[in-house]
Amino acid sequence: METNNPLEILVVDDDRKIVNLVGLYLQHEGFTVLVAYDGQEAINLAIQRQPTLIILDLMMPKMNGIEVCQILRTKTRVPIIMLTARTTEEDKIQGLDLGADDYVTKPFSPKELMSRVRAVLRRGSEAPKPKPVEGHFGDLTINFLRREVLIRGEVANLTRTEYRLLETMTQEPGRTFSRPELIERVFGFEYEGVDRTIDVHVMNLRKKIELDANQFRYVVTVPGMGYRFEDPHVAES
């Protein structure tokens, strides 16, 4: 397998005009461009070349971008920007839940796309704050190295977004995070989401980690403000 080239970006779209246009702008920014026109070719190139970032179209024949994203997330953590003509919030949530790092709708400005590329790469290059290997909160255990969450020893199959949300709040138990702040922390500063996006992810997260659907032990709503993570060990002391 070839080693990672820090300047390689893979562009995946069955529309060759879009691939050529995006490729020209990326080359102007100093990136080496890899191209694929279908999902299987994209998967093969991503595994073989390990690009720095993937720009992935959602609607493609044979294998769409959602399927490609699902497969890639089992094999690599390379950042993915989804490109699509779908504009509903539900579509965006689905793409982000499956592991996409950003979402750009068609028609788009190539300059805006380049700005999103730079933003995603900046987020990936920022040095993370030191954190312990594991966090223990009552029946909840988080392995920060493996990004694995356990409830009473059983694996909670969180989406990438749900994990980011949980990890963000557990870094500062007891602190109230506003919805806009969580959007910025989880999706990045340039994400053009709305407050309800976080509410949907919190609801899905609770279904997977809370033992009592009527009384939330970990992720608590702070009316008019946002959400906070409660550490049961602290609450009981």
Q: Are residues 50 and 148 in the same domain?
A: no
The domain boundary, picked from 125, 146, 167, lies at 125
Number of domains present in the structure of the chain = 2
CA dist., res. 192 & res. 176, Å (int): 22
Pairwise CA distance, residues 65 & 69, whole Å: 6
In contact, 104 and 92? CB cutoff 8 Å: no
Q: Are residues 139 and 231 in the same domain?
A: yes
Decide if 1 is inside a domain: no
Domain membership of residue 2 (yes or no) is no
Same-domain status, 138 and 228: yes
The band of 126, judged by pLDDT with boundaries at 50, 70 and 90, is low
Residue 18 pLDDT > 80: yes
Q: Of 71, 94, 125, which one is at a domain's C-terminal end?
A: 125
Cis peptide bond prior to 130, omega within 30° of 0: no
SS3 (DSSP) at 33: strand
Average confidence (pLDDT) over 59-67 = 85
Q: Are residues 163 and 117 in the same domain?
A: no
Least Cα distance to 116 among 187, 194, 183, 15 occurs for 187
Report the CATH number that the domain containing residue 203 is assigned in CATH: 1.10.10.10
**pLDDT, mean of residues 142-155:** 89
Domain boundary, last residue among 89, 106, 125: 125
Q: Are residues 118 and 138 in the same domain?
A: no
Q: Note down the domain range covering 68.
A: 8-125
Q: Are residues 166 and 119 in the same domain?
A: no
Instruction: Answer yes or no: is pLDDT of 4 > 50.
Output: no
**Tens of pLDDT, residues 166-224:** 999 998 889 999 888 888 778 765 555 555 778 888 999 999 998 877 788 899 999 88
Q: How far apart are CA 78 and CA 141, in angstroms?
A: 26
Contact 185, 227 (CB under 8 A): no
* CATH code of the domain in which 42 resides: 3.40.50.2300
- For 83, counting Cβ atoms within 10 Å of its Cβ (0-12 exposed, 13-18 middle, 19+ buried), the class is buried
Apex 233 CA angle, 232 and 237, nearest 5: 115
Assigned domain for 69 exists: yes
| 146 and 199 together in one domain | yes
Residues 138 and 215 in one domain: yes
116/31 same-domain check: yes
How far apart (Å, rounded) are the C-alpha atoms in residues 168 and 144? Answer: 11
Q: For residue 3, is it within any domain?
A: no
Question: Quick one: pLDDT at residue 237?
Answer: 44
- Whether the per-residue pLDDT at 5 is higher than 50: the answer is no
